[in-house]
Amino acid sequence: MSVQLQRAIDILELIEQAERPMALGEIAAAISMPKSAAHRLLQVWLGRGYIEQDTLSQRYSATLKLAVLGFAHLNATGIRDVCYADMRLLAKATGELARLAVIDGDSLTWVAEAQGARDGLRYDGNIGRQAVLHSTAAGKAWLATLDDADAARLVLKQGFPNVNETGPRAIKTMKELLEELERTRRLGCAMAIEEAAVGVNSVAAAVFAGASSRTCAGAIIVVGPSARMTPARMEELMPLLKSAAARISTLWPIRQHMTNDSEQQDFV
């Protein structure tokens, strides 16, 4: 991949993930390139409609175009069709938010969710964003299916401990992480207590690429406010998580078959 293309993608990802519109100087500094070069690449993304520029502040922000493309691809994979029924049942049974994360290379991406809470405090996730592996229940559920060396490699590659993107109780040493992964293996589920964000707890189980497969395909998670999602309640929810994960694992080859059929039709 050319350096210019890499920088263009860096700019798009930076603006897409920013919590507020960004100035040209901020963008150039964040990716260590001259303002003039950053401005040229920004004009390309502006022209294609992926970002927009406020006429008054001159700051840049992302449009919905990339999200629309992402959701179109997500629908084409068949993930929602295959998994949503079980996610909806899990959300209804727990009264909390159920989310599905899928492995994509060395990362774990949130792809679907079902809300079970009808009133009171809710926790809403960010579909399409990557999970921080060492500080989320979904991430730890996946890491626990790997040997310690592979788990450590993935966490270090993503950035560890990276306290700017984690909650107050996130794991900060590799020793603690490996101990937590061993605990997860014993329980069959992973827990995160204010590790991803203040006041948010979650519990997750790994989803596999088939009923008898040992290849992890993702994780299903129940997440909610710590006032409701106490450690005791999370342990009570573990059988529900394991059952839902087992059912989705059984259906996963169907999802792969749907994707393969769609790809074959493109050549007809």
Question: H helices of 18-64, where?
Answer: 24-30, 35-48
Determine whether 49 is exposed, middle or buried from the number of CB atoms within 10 Å of its CB (0-12, 13-18, 19+).
exposed
Instruction: Report H helices in 144-216.
Output: 148-158, 174-187
Buried b or exposed e, range 200-226, using 16+ CB within 10 angstroms: bbbbbbbbbbeeeeeebbbbbbbbbeb
Q: What is the pLDDT of residue 256?
A: 52
pLDDT (tens, 9 = 90+) of the chain, 268 residues, equals 578 888 888 998 899 888 889 999 999 999 899 999 999 999 999 999 889 999 889 999 988 777 666 655 555 555 666 677 888 899 999 999 999 999 988 999 888 888 886 654 444 556 667 889 999 999 999 999 999 999 999 999 998 988 778 899 999 999 999 999 999 999 999 999 999 999 999 999 999 988 888 899 999 999 999 999 999 999 999 999 999 999 989 887 654 544 454 444 443 4
pTM given for the model: 0.67
Which are the contacts of 266, defined by CB distance < 8 A and separation ≥ 6?
none
CA atoms of 51 and 14, how far apart (whole Å): 11
Cα–Cα distance list, 52 to 4, 71, 191, 225 (Å): 20, 20, 39, 35
| pLDDT given for residue 244 in this prediction | 93
Quote the tokens at residue 203: 């519990």
Which residues share a beta bridge with 130?
109
Tell me the domains of the chain and their CATH numbers. Answer: 3-63 (1.10.10.10), 75-263 (3.30.450.40)
